[in-house]
């Protein structure tokens, strides 16, 4: 069973990419990108998991108790912030594209701009 | 390129990408058997060294605090980018009706705003003691304000989402981080090194500089998210208000 988290990572990543490729709406495309990115959260947390480990927070818990890796958790935090910024910029760009061309379909926009 | 061709190319690429992923995953340690050493080291030394009981926060704001500063400025830059992209001339605010129909939603929603703001402040304040931190609490703060929009409409939201107040807060949050870092240099230590003393573990007086940096991040994240919310809300609501009037 130990491969399941990694299989999940691969699936989330590829399914998000499939969404990007087949997207018919720019907002949908942005959300698919964040789905792809969220596979990295699962990957990081899976890599840092220690069997039987608790959260790496030692308030009221004896130091030295088995805990999961805090480094990957802090990386996930960075990852989420980056994901938020990317989605915000994509949404703003999508709004502008829609204002300019009257369409949010990536295929139509490509045709318009030649 | 037609849709069919594109999907065909994608499927071929996805197959080889999937093979690459599987090859990569085979080299990883089994799930649950983390090898370390950094996680194990931090879990051992963070509390004795930095007196912070939340090791994740001590990693974010102390051990790799410099990295987090870059992360804050990524957020800052993206907010600037969104504001620039969505800037439009002659936008008139304050004329939008609040259109929440139900009094029940309004009353209980507004009560919940108070509760969620309180939880958010707790998340930031105790971020280095119990689960939480500046980033998480900042997002929760902005979320509480967004709840105000859902419950009571745009007018009340605008009181919290007021950009003349938010811009300085965002600036102070981002700049304060650097100032705390420079305080380390001024006192003859390294950038972002703790100059306030480690404090008492498990209390609000622990972590020293990292506690201040934590608040800076909280202010920056809350303000940045609120600016984003109010930008997108204006973009969405102003055309609606125009339609209602005409």
CB pairs under 8 A between A and B: 153
To probe the interface with B, which of A34, A68, A74, A99 has the most B CB atoms within 10 Å? A74
Q: Domain map of chain B by residue range?
A: 36-245
Tokens of B126: 């105790």
The pLDDT value recorded for residue A58 is: 86
Could you list the pLDDT tens digit for every one of the 246 residues in chain B? 678 888 899 999 999 998 998 899 888 888 888 887 888 888 888 888 888 888 899 889 888 889 999 999 999 999 999 999 888 655 555 555 556 678 888 888 889 999 999 999 999 999 888 888 889 999 999 999 999 888 888 888 888 888 888 889 998 999 999 999 898 888 888 888 888 877 888 788 888 888 889 999 999 999 999 999 988 888 887 777 666 655
Question: Domains in chain A, ordered, with CATH?
Answer: 4-113 (1.10.287.3510)
Tokens of B134: 């500046």
Point out the least confidently predicted range of A11-25, A57-71, B85-99, B152-166. B85-99
What residues of A are in contact with residue B129 (Cβ under 8 Å)? 59
More confident residue, A112 or B114: B114
Averaged pLDDT for residues A60-66: 82
CA distance B105 to chain A (A): 28
Whether residue A112 is predicted with pLDDT greater than 70 in this model: the reply is no
The pLDDT value recorded for residue B40 is: 87
Indicate yes or no: pTM above 0.80: yes
What residues of A are in contact with residue B28 (Cβ under 8 Å)? 6, 47
Nearest to B31 among A5, A70, A74 (CB): A5
The pLDDT value recorded for residue B94 is: 52
Flag if B55 and A91 touch (Cβ within 8 Å).
no
Flag if A81 and B17 touch (Cβ within 8 Å).
no
Task: Say how many C-beta atoms besides its own lie within 10 A of residue B38's C-beta.
Answer: 14
The pLDDT value recorded for residue B92 is: 54
The pLDDT value recorded for residue B102 is: 81
Tokens of B9: 């190319």
The pLDDT value recorded for residue B137 is: 93
Going by the DSSP 8-state scheme, the letter that residue B62 receives in this structure is I
Percent of chain A with pLDDT over 90: 50
What residues of B are in contact with residue A93 (Cβ under 8 Å)? 85
A36: nearest Cα among A74, A82, A73: A82
The pLDDT value recorded for residue B93 is: 54
The pLDDT value recorded for residue B224 is: 93
Averaged pLDDT for residues A73-89: 92
- What are the φ and ψ backbone dihedral angles of B29, each rounded to 5 degrees? -70, 155
Helices B209-245 and B65-86: crossing angle in degrees, nearest 10, is 10
Handedness of CA A40, A43, A48, A49 (dihedral sign): positive
What burial class does residue B175 get, using C-beta atoms within 10 Å of its C-beta: 0-12 exposed, 13-18 middle, 19+ buried?
middle
B78 Cβ neighbours under 8 A, 6+ residues apart: A84, A85, A86, A88, A89, B224
CA distances A16 to A13, A25, A87, A92, B214, Å, are: 5, 14, 14, 21, 33
To probe the interface with A, which of B78, B206, B214 has the most A CB atoms within 10 Å? B78
Nearest to B232 among A17, A21, A91 (CB): A91
Task: Say how many C-beta atoms besides its own lie within 10 A of residue A12's C-beta.
Answer: 19
Percent of chain A with pLDDT over 70: 96
Q: How confident is the model at residue A57 (pLDDT cuts 50, 70, 90)?
A: confident
B59 Cβ neighbours under 8 A, 6+ residues apart: A70, A71, A73, A74, B42, B46
The pLDDT value recorded for residue B89 is: 56
What residues of A are in contact with residue B34 (Cβ under 8 Å)? 47-50, 68-69
- What's the mean per-residue pLDDT of chain A? 88
């Amino acid at each position: 069973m130990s491969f399941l988290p990694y299989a999940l990572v691969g699936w989330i990543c590829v399914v998000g990419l499939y969404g990007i490729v087949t997207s018919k709406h720019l907002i949908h495309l942005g959300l698919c990108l964040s789905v792809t990115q969220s596979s990295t959260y699962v990957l990081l947390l899976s890599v840092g998991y220690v069997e039987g480990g608790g959260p790496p927070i030692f308030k009221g818990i004896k130091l030295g108790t088995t805990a999961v890796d805090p480094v990957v958790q802090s990386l996930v935090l960075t990852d989420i912030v980056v994901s938020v910024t990317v989605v915000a910029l994509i949404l703003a760009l999508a709004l502008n594209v829609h204002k300019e061309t009257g369409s949010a379909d990536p295929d139509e926009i490509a045709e318009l701009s030649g | 390129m037609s849709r069919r061709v594109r999907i065909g190319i994608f499927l071929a690429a996805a197959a080889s990408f999937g093979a690459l992923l599987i090859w990569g995953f085979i080299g990883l340690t089994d799930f649950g058997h983390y090898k370390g050493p950094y996680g194990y080291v931090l879990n051992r030394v963070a509390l004795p060294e930095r007196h912070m009981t939340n090791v994740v926060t001590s990693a974010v704001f102390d051990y790799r605090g410099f990295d987090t500063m870059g992360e804050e400025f990524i957020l800052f830059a993206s907010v600037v980018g969104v504001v620039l992209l969505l800037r439009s001339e002659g936008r008139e605010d304050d004329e939008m009706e609040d259109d929440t129909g139900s009094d029940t939603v309004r009353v209980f929603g507004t009560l919940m705003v108070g509760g969620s703001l309180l939880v958010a402040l707790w998340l930031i304040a105790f971020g280095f003691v119990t689960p939480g931190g500046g980033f998480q609490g900042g997002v929760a703060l902005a979320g509480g304000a967004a709840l105000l929009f859902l419950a009571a409409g745009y007018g009340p939201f605008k009181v919290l989402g007021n950009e003349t107040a938010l811009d300085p807060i965002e600036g102070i949050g981002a700049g304060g981080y650097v100032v705390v870092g420079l305080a380390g240099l001024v006192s003859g230590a390294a950038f972002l090194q703790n100059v306030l003393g480690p404090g008492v573990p498990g209390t609000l007086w622990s972590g020293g500089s990292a506690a201040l940096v934590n608040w800076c991040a909280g202010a920056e994240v809350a303000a940045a998210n609120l600016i984003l919310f109010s930008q997108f809300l204006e973009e969405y609501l102003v055309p609606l208000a125009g339609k209602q009037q005409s």
